[in-house]
Structure formats: C-alpha cells, structure tokens
A and B are shown apart, each in its own frame.
Chain A
Amino acid sequence: MSAKTPSKLEKVMAAGHLGVTSECGPPRGSDPEVIKQKAELLKDCVDAINVTDNQTSVVRTSSLATCIHLKLMGLEPILQMVTRDRNRIALQSDILGAASFDIANVLCLSGDHQSFGDNPQGQNVHDLDSMQLLWTVRKMRDEGTFLGGDEIKRPPKMFVGAAANPFADPFEIRVPRLAKKIEAGAEFIQTQCIYNLEKFEEWIRLAEDRGLTEKCYIMAGVTPFKSAGMAKYMKNRVPGMDVPDDVVKRMADTPKGNQAEEGVNICVETIQRLKEIKGVSGFHIMAIEWEEKVPEIVERAGLMPRPETD
C-alpha cells in the first residue's frame, strides 16, 4: 500500500514500519494547557495522537478544537468523530473544518450510547452510522464531492480509519464486519484493547485469509492496567471487553505496590508477542489518564525511535 494522503501515520506504515498511536482525552473544561501537557508526554514516542470525541458520552472540549491545539503544536492528531451527536451536515462541515487546518487523519465511530454519560436524557442522532461516515469521508476526499453531490473546493486529504472489536459478539461476523468497514473506505483499523491473544490471533488469521490485511493497516489496541481493580472492572463491566481469567489473576497475585508496574509489563509483553503476528501493522496504546507511561511502553516494546518521514 502506498501513501495517498499527507498523513504522517500513513507514511510510516506505508514505508513498512510499525505505526504507533496513542490517545488524549480532552478536558472537562476549557483550559488548553491540560491537553498540551498530555500531548507533550506523547509527542516523541508516537506517530499520531487520537483525540477522543466526548468519550463515554460525557461532555468535554470538542475533539476538533483539541486536534487544532495539537496541530498548532506541530503534532499529528487523529480526529475521532462519532455519529451520535451530529447529523450529516455537521459531520461534513467539521471534516472541512479539520481539513482547513490540514488535519490529516480521521477515525469514524458510532460512539457510546448517551445513556452512559452525563446527559442520558439527550437525543442521539445517528443520521449516519460509522460505516456510512467512512464512506462519506472517502467520497469527500476521493471524488471531491459532498454527500449531496456538489463539488468541494480543496477536498479534505485525510487518512481514514475505523475501530474494530475482535472480541464482541457474535464472533463469526467480526471478520465480515471488518470487510465491510474496509469496503466502506477504512484504510486503517484500531482494535479494541487486546488481552485475549489467542482470540485476536484467530481474528487476524481469518482477516488475512480474506486478504483484508493487505487492504488495510491493522493497529493492535493495548491498554496497561493500573491495578488489579481496573483489570476486574474491565473484565466485568466494560461491554465488549475480553480479559481472560489468567490475566486478572496475574494482576491480583501481584502486591498492590507493584501492580502498576506489572500492568505495564503485561502491556509490553503483549506488544512483543503481537509484533510477531503477520498482519499487525502497528499499535494503538490507550493509556487511560496514564499518558506518562506511554514513552516507557513504546521504548520497552522496542518501537523507538519513531521513524522520520518527509
């Protein structure tokens, strides 16, 4: 696959390197320093930084505004866009807004249901779904037209991504669903956090059998546990998360003072094992409110230094 956009992330993976991304959650307030501090922690150890879009349906500074802060700092943001809060007019408009700042990556999602957040009585929009948003961005970029058919002056040049959860049910459609996302226009995929390596390996093998890993960069998602409590919470409470018992036990058997370190160890070991799997093009490290650990994880996983691009 050759790079089609100015995206640094795309260029890194197109050159055959493993890509590395991490993420920043915007603050629940308007202080831009919060996001700048998080970004400073990540800037030298990743190729691009996801900026979440009102994740878990809790109101935060907008993903677009935060991406602009990162871009103005000289960093490479990935604009996360959920279809929950905006209709097709607003989505296309925000894509243009991002493109006007030369933001070169977008991740298309449906978004958590609003009942999980701080406005459970609100409407949801879902005028488009995540696949239809992928298709929309690709149409805007490749055909240079809006959904309505009119021409776009200076179309957006964006590397277009989607999420995939190899662990959600039913498993049998997880690969067909990946195929649909790629057909809709996904050029890179960031997966749900991987703890069940056997199941992930089965998923990516089936994807490879269908030729999907040749058409799309698969970035394996990882999240370090801060504590045994977090491992249990993720196992039992987070929908679509698959944390095997032995991983929870390993965290629980570690003395409290060492659990954070053990969480990082598990994360590094996971990346090292996944690096050997054909079809894995990179890693998406989601250190939730623990951005300071990302440089260490990337370093210990043998992913430093990050490659230079032109």
Chain B
Amino acid sequence: MIVADKKPVEEIIEYVKDCQKILVLGCNECVTVCEAGGKKEVGVLAATLRMYFSNQGTEDVQVDERTLERQCDHEYLEEIRDIADQYDAIVSIACGVGIQFTAEKYHSIPVYPGVNTCFLGVTEQRGLWTERCQACGQCILAYTGGICPVARCAKRLFNGPCGGSSKGKCEINKELDCAWQLIIDRLKAIDRMDLYEKLFNVKDWSTDRAGGPRKVEREDVQI
C-alpha cells in the first residue's frame, strides 16, 4: 500500500486559517489502513480545526467531513461534484496521488495536503509501517530472493552488501536491517546462492522516476 503519515496540524492550519468553509476529505484505501487519512482521521482533523477556529473566536468557520472510497478514481471523486463548489478549501488526507487527482478534478478550488506521503510499504505491526518498493518499473525480485535492494539498501546497491554491513545491520542505522544480509539469508533458504555469484549489470533507470512521469497503457482493457 501507499503509506502516509499525518502532517503537523500547525502546518494544515497555516493553509486554511483564512478560509470560511473547509472540507476535510479522506480516503478509504491505503491511508485508512495506515491510519493517516481514513474516516477516523478525517473526524479527528476536522474536530481539531473546529477547536482552532473556536479558540480564534471564528466559530462561524464551517468544517465538514467526507471520506470517499478512493480519491484515485474518477467515479468516486465525482461523488462530491455537487458540493465541492461550496468550499473555499479542501484538505485532502489521501495520499499524494489522491490529493493531486482531487485538485485536477476540482480545478478552481484550493486543495491542500493533510498528510505526507512516504512510501510503498507494509504494516509490520500496528503503528509500524516499513518500505518495500520504489516502483522502479523493472522488477528484479526474481534474482534477489524476493527482497528489493533498490528500496531497502540505503545505497540501492545491485551488487551488495557494502563494507558497512555489520551483524546484519546497515551502517546508517543499527535498527535497520542490511538489505543484502536479508537477500543472502533468503537465497540460502531457497537454495539459490548461485544467484549471488552473478554480477548485476548496469541498471536501465529509464522506467524509474529518471525517465520522467510514467504511464501504463493497456489497450486490452480499455473501453
């Protein structure tokens, strides 16, 4: 999933302090799972903003709440078509994708981010999310025991580990697993250490961010 984290409320207040009618817009997908932008967080943020305006003596500011199934699909974003015009700001607490798609769809209404979008990751345990994928566009997991050196090695080494791997941990942080230690452990577990001996060639990064904004186009599923 796309993992996001809450923005400090002071930052959000700075965006909307002069507004009269605000919609806090959540998303029922990834950001709900990582507890940053679902219905519950919409309620908490809206209440916090109301309290702020109340303390400022501006109780007449209206803060409404809404959570869509997704903010990355036209059909769900259309659900607020009839009401969007009433607001002079939307605070979206979907991921960066949802925030942008909302802004594209409602061109004349300011849309502000209520979260920081962090990475593609997993829920390791409640309250702990960690990165797994950087969407480089050319998956190599078949050769690295299902563990990605692009996302999980601080130097994204294709031929690791570097000399800083110590007792299974990365040199930049003793809490952080060395990705290449994990790869080696896994290659041993699946009896494929022969893969470790192979040199990884120079990577084609044109499918990554380096190649400019990307798209996937599938004629077979287009209507």
Contact = CB atoms under 8 A, between A and B. Distances in A.
Given A113-B155, A113-B172, A173-B184, A132 B202 contact: yes
Contacts of A173: 161, 184, 196
Contacts of B199: 131, 135, 180, 183-184
B209 to A, nearest CB: 11
Interface stretch (B14-22, B42-50, B104-112, B163-171): B163-171
B197 A170 contact: no
Given A88-B202, A113-B154, A183-B199, A168 B184 contact: no
A110 B171 contact: no
A129 interface: yes
A170 B160 CA distance: 11
A129 to B, nearest CB: 5
A110 B170 CA distance: 14
B71 to A, nearest CB: 29
Interface in B169-186: 171-172, 178, 181, 184
Contact of A110 (B155, B168, B172): B155
B159 A84 contact: no
Contact of A132 (B164, B168, B172, B201): B201
A131 B159 contact: yes
A84 to B, nearest CB: 7
Interface residues of B, number: 28
A216 interface: no
Contact of A147 (B162, B168, B202, B205): B202
Contacts of B157: 110, 126, 129-130
B74 interface: no
Contacts of B202: 88, 128, 132, 135-136, 147
Identify which of B154, B159, B163, B171 gathers the most chain A CB atoms within 10 Å of its CB.
B163
A21 interface: no
22 contacts: A110-B157, A111-B155, A112-B171, A113-B155, A115-B154, A116-B172, A126-B156, A126-B157, A129-B200, A130-B162, A132-B158, A132-B200, A164-B163, A168-B166, A169-B166, A169-B167, A169-B168, A170-B181, A173-B184, A177-B159, A180-B197, A239-B166
Interface of B: 154-168, 171-172, 178, 181, 184, 196-197, 199-203, 205
Interface of A: 83-84, 88, 110-113, 115-116, 124, 126-132, 135-136, 147, 163-165, 168-170, 172-173, 176-177, 179-180, 183-184, 192, 239-240
